Each structure stands twice: as C-alpha cells, then as structure tokens.
Chains A and B, each alone.
Chain A
Amino acid sequence: MADNQRKVYMIAGGVTPFKKINFNDDFRLNVKHSLDYALKDSGMKTEDIDGSVSAYFSDHLQGQLIAGAMSNDFIGLAGKPSKRIEGGGATGGLAFQTAYEEIASGTMDTCLAYGFENMSHVGTWRGNDIIALGSDASFDYPLGGFYTAYYALMATRHMYEFGTTEKQMAMVSVKNHGNAMHNPYAQAPMDITVEDVLKSPVVSSPIKMLDICLMSDGAACAILASEEVAKSVSGKPVLIKSIGSSSDTMRLADRPFGKVPLLPNENDSMYRDLKYPGVHSFRAGRLAARMAYRKAGITSPEKEIDFAELYDAYTSAEIQAYEDMGFCPYGQGGKFVEDGRSMLDGDIPVNMEGGLQASGHAIGATGIMQAVYAFWQLQETVHKHLGSNRLQVKNPQRGLIHSHAGTGAYEAVTIMEAV
C-alpha cells in the first residue's frame, strides 16, 4: 500500500461528558459542545475547517436517518464536503482514520471527525436487540444472540485455551472504574474491588454486569490538519503516525483455525500448536495492529508503545487486546493485568481515563473519544482538561488507540506521537 502521503496532525479535540441519559442535549448539540471546546482550545474557527466526517452507529438509536447532515448544518458546516462512516463499535475509530485519509491524500487541509450516539432513547433490553442486529440476522440473532453472549463465547474459549480467569477479568474492571475516578467526563467512576465485580449479576456466563461497558449519550470530535496548518495554530499538535485496519467474518462460527499472523516481536515457535483465531482471539485487531506497526516502523510494540486506549467493551476483550496488539504473547493477557502492567504506573498504561467500561460508550463517539484522550496525553495537557495530573502518563512519546466492530468484524488501530 502507498506510503507516499502527507503527514497528518491532530490539532484539537473535545468530548462531552458521557451520560446514561441526556434528554437536554440532542445529538446535534452534543456535537456542538464537543466542537466548541476544541475550537476554543485551539483558537480555531468553524470557517477554518474544510470538511467533516461524521460517525454514528445506529439510525435506530438516533431515531433519525442522515443525522450527520443535520449535525453539519447545526455546527455551521453545511456547504462543505462531508460523509458518514459506520462500522459498528469501530465507527469512531474508522471515521478518525477517514479524516486522516482526507488530509493525507491532500483532499483537505483541515478535517473535522466527529462522533455521537444517543443510546438512552431506548431501554437497555431494547438497546441489546438493536445492537444485536449488528450480527447475522439469519443465523445468530434469532437464537437470542446478543453481544454480551458473543463475547462470552469468546471469553469461555479464551479461558479454556489459556487459563484466563474471571478474577483477571475483574481486575480490568477495577482498574478502569478506578481510573475514571479522576476523569470528570466519565459516566461511571467507581471505587470497586475484584470481589464486587465477581459478585455482580451474571449477564452471560462468564461475563458479569461489572465486566460490561456502558450505554451512553455523548459526543466527541477531533480536528486533523496538514503540517502547514498544524504549525499555524496555537497549542501543541500531535502527529498521527500511522493507521491500520482489518476485518473478519461477521459470524464467530466462520472463524478459521489456521496459523497466527505474526507481529514483528513474535516468531513461529511461540504458537506452533495454537489454532487461530478460532473464537478465542480477534484476528482483525492483530492484522490492523500489524499494518499500523509496519507503517510506523515499530518492531517491538511492548517497548515502543507508551500507553494505549483499547476497546474494553468487555473486560475479556481488553485482555484479548493486550495479546492482539502484541503487548504480550497469546495466553499471557490475564497475567498482563494481574502483574499490573496495564495500570497507570505499569509498562503500558491502558484506558487511563476509564475506557468504555467507566468513561462510557456512546458508540459513534467512542473511537474519537479515545483519540482525544490520547491527544491530551501526548500534549501532556491532561491537567488542563481533566482538572488534575492523576491520569497523565509520564513523558509519553507514542500512544495507540484501538476499536472494533461486532466480534472484530472491523478493527481500527491508530498510532499517535508527540512532536
């Protein structure tokens, strides 16, 4: 694939608080709130933006089709190029990458990526149904399939293959809810214990209530720009070093049992007997990471990534993502969290602001929310935006953001660097 493209920078970002229910602000106003924050922070004006990419997952959740166009005119971008990106839970991550492509290709000099979702406008059980329509509507959904169940099937097999435990999964929940205690935008900051998680109601075994992400109302936006524009704005730009994406079968049942596609820090002998991806791992995440690492020249992700925003829709998924991203070999994801390596003071802090578990999951906004938090980390401005330095990673040079759709039907990995 072509690498002769323009450098792309993130120059501003904003998020709204993610809330369980927000009837006071519709999706357009949420987008405006996040954009106003980004504009004020960067000293930019709406007229400085060449075009936009909108991100939202479900027309059913919005109760409105072509909601991107409605947002555009609300924020003053009518008359400028715009498109909508949809890719399940990876919607925001893929929209961010699309905005990157608009700049890298020279189509635009500044591009706004914004994402939103209003998940509270239906009840949780109905919301489960709507999201489950993002699985095979002939073979999977009619069984009573829904996403917690699909991830539970994967977690059960991961536990069988590698000995991962429910206690290790609970440690992810404790970490992410605890981190969110220092994030004023977070929906569910909680000081909880492993026991609290293990005792929470089982939703779909082995996944329990406190292993699961939130359904949220909220929005996030990121302004991306060419090098020339980045140099002209106030504030510290962050380089988007590379993007990677991949895909996999929609149905878990179709996942093959082949060889592991190796990351640069791995070799064949590590996985001689592992049938891959089966249903224990997310092949698309690994392939997306491999693409992003290759383009960024990263050969030892476990040493070269300073922090990560991983897609923790379920605690099991964060453990699986440690392995898919190459932070540790397959089978050691549980130990990775148990050893504290993903804690704030660990080797690779993960989901410092609380992740989807505690910060929230307003689907279309989520991948862009991750980019905003990574941007503030790499700018070292966490104190300014979150009110304290508690979640600031020390001297971060490179961060990774990762999101996925379905059970990894689409995945997006982006590498961002301090400049």
Chain B
Amino acid sequence: MGYGRLLKIDPVVVEWNYNIEYRHSYAEDSPFFMALGRGRLLGSKCKSCGFKYGTYRKYCMYCGSETDDIELPLHGKVHSFTTCYYSGETFRGDVPYTLVLVEFPGVDSLFMSRLFINSGEKPEIGMDIVAQFKKFQTFTVNDVYFVPA
C-alpha cells in the first residue's frame, strides 16, 4: 500500500502496489512436500475405513480417523485434462500448460498435476502417464509432474 500513483482525475483514481510477504505453512501436509524431494509421491489411507486418497490428507474426510501415508504408484491415467492459454497473473509466463486429474490403480480419489507433452501430441482421457520429479526442489506441488508413459 502506501502512496498511490495518480491514474486519473474526475474521479480521482490512484494505483498502489499491494504486496505482502506471506508465510504459508503446509503444516500436517508437510510430509507430502518433503517426500517429493526424494522422488516419492505420497497419498493417504484411512486407518479405520481404508479409503485411499490420491491427494494427501492427514485425516479421513469420511470417518475423521487419522490416515497412514501410502506410496502412490508413479504410473497413472489421465482422468480429465485442460490446456490453459490464459491464467492468473502469477503463471502468465507459463502459458500454455496442461493440467490433468490423475487416477491411480487401486486408489479411490484423484490427484491434480501438470502434464508435459511434446508439441503435436494431444492429451486424452485414459492416456497412460508417469510421474517425474523436479531436480531442484521448489517445495510446491510442482515438484512432481507427469509425462506420457
């Protein structure tokens, strides 16, 4: 915030920069993000009802019980996809990019990720894909991504 830059008068419009340093904690989800740096993709299995989550969570949303970490298979299939030609401001330099929902064999829910494919290739539902891991960890969910198997 602070002092604004005058954009126009009648009405008076000023523009100010709105930046904040925000400390985002992954808290109980931290083991998932740490594991990505070791080339491991973690999901969760409910200790009580056995539901297997493709996206890591520490407590089961069906019965409230704690979950165990499970190793997800690195191979999966495209459940749905979209290629983004526009985005939020933060990812403007990344377009176009493809997002997929990944289904894993024997796992009850999905995982969202980016899919990298060669130009000329088209994503499709049911496509076999495999997880890859970033060489230098960013400590974001982008540390894992998928490519065609």
List the interface of chain A (C-beta within 8 A of B). 23-24, 60, 63, 123, 125-126, 128-130, 132, 137-146, 148-149, 152-154, 156-157, 160, 201-207, 249, 251-257, 279
C-alpha spacing A166/B61, complex, angstroms: 35
Considering the chains assembled together, what is the distance between the CA atoms of A148 and B103 in angstroms?
21
| Cα distance A307–B85 in the bound complex, in angstroms | 35
Contact A153 B101 (CB under 8 A): yes
Q: What is the CA–CA distance of A139 and B79 in the complex, to the nearest angstrom? A: 17
What is the chain B residue whose CB lies nearest that of A130? B88
With A251-B55, A253-B112 already in contact, the answer to whether A138 and B24 are too (CB < 8 A) is yes
Of B82, B90, B111, which contacts A129 at CB under 8 A? B90
Q: A125-B92, A253-B109, A254-B55 are in contact. Are A202 and B99 (CB under 8 A)?
A: no
Bound form: Cα–Cα A157–B126 in Å? 11
Q: Which residue of B lies closest to A154 (CB)?
A: B80
Residue in B80, B87, B90 whose CB lies within 8 Å of A153 = B80
The CA-CA distance from A206 to B91 in the complex, in Å, is 19
Known A-B contacts A144-B91, A144-B97, A253-B109; the reply to A153 vs B114 at CB < 8 A is no
Question: Do A125 and B125 form a contact, CB below 8 Å, given A157-B80, A255-B109?
Answer: no
Across the interface, name the chain A residue whose C-beta is closest to B91: A144
Given known A-B contacts A139-B141, A251-B55, A253-B101, A125 and B88 have beta carbons under 8 A apart = yes
Give the contact-size bracket for chain B. 35 or more
Q: Are A156 and B89 in contact (CB under 8 A)?
A: no
Complex Cα spacing A255 to B54, Å: 11
Q: Is the CB of B142 within 8 A of A143?
A: yes
Say what secondary structure dominates the interface of chain B. mixed
- Can you give 12 A-B contacts (C-beta < 8 A)? A145-B112, A146-B84, A148-B84, A149-B82, A153-B82, A157-B80, A157-B125, A160-B80, A160-B125, A204-B86, A206-B82, A253-B54
Give Cα distance in the complex from A407 to B131, angstroms: 26
Chain A residue at minimum C-beta to C-beta distance from B126: A160
B71 interface residue (CB < 8 Å to A): no
Least distance between A63 CB and chain B CB atoms (Å): 8
Given A153-B101, A249-B61, A279-B101, check contact A146 B88 (CB 8 Å).
Answer: yes
Nearest CB on A from B102, distance (A) = 8
**Interface set, chain B 54-106, CB cutoff 8 A to A:** 54-55, 57, 61, 79-92, 94-95, 97, 99, 101
Leading 10 A-B pairs by shortest Cβ distance: A129-B88, A152-B82, A144-B91, A253-B110, A128-B88, A125-B89, A157-B80, A142-B140, A126-B89, A204-B84
Contacts A24-B11, A143-B99; A252 near B110 (Cβ below 8 A): yes
Which B residues lie within 8 Å of A139 (CB)?
55, 112, 141
| Chain A, Cβ-Cβ closest to B83 | A205
Asked whether, in the complex, the Cβ of A204 is within 8 Å of the Cβ of B82, the reply is yes
CA distance A249 to B92 in the complex (A): 27
**B82 engages A144 (CB within 8 Å):** no
A244 to chain B, nearest CB (A): 22
Contacts of B140 in A (CB 8 A): 142
Q: Which residue of B lies closest to A132 (CB)?
A: B88
Nearest Cβ distance between residue B78 and chain A, in whole angstroms? 10
Contact of B141 with A143 in the complex, beta carbons under 8 Å: yes
B6 within 8 A of A: no
Mask of B19-59 contacts with A, CB within 8 angstroms, 1/0: 00000101001000000000000000000000001110100
What's the Cα separation between A145 and B142 when bound, in Å? 11
**Beta-carbon nearest neighbor of B27 in chain A:** A138
* Cα–Cα distance between A140 and B114 once the two chains are bound (Å): 10
- Residues of chain B contacted by A153 (CB below 8 angstroms): 80-82, 99, 101, 112
A24 to B55, alpha carbons, bound, how many Å?
Answer: 46
- Inter-chain contacts of A125 with B (CB < 8 A): 86-89, 92
B109 engages A143 (CB within 8 Å): no
**B55:A156 contact, CB within 8 angstroms:** no
A249 to B108, CA, bound (A): 14
Report if A144-B88 is in contact (Cβ < 8 Å); known contacts: A160-B80, A252-B110, A253-B54.
yes
Given the contacts A125-B86, A125-B89, A143 and B125 also touching, CB distance less than 8 Å? no
Cβ of B113 under 8 Å from chain A: yes
Q: With A138-B29, A153-B99, A279-B101 as known contacts, state yes or no: A252 contacts B83, CB within 8 Å.
A: no
Q: Cβ of B114 and Cβ of A157 under 8 Å apart?
A: no
Is the CB–CB distance between B97 and A205 below 8 Å? no
- Given A129-B88, A251-B112, 5 additional A-B pairs, CB 8 A: A23-B11, A153-B112, A160-B80, A254-B57, A254-B110
Expressed in whole angstroms, the Cα–Cα distance for A120 and B11 within the complex equals 15
The residues of B that contact A129 with a CB separation of less than 8 Å are: 88-90
- Residues of A within 8 Å of B82, CB to CB, are 149, 152-153, 156, 204-207
> A148's closest neighbor in chain B, by CB?
B86
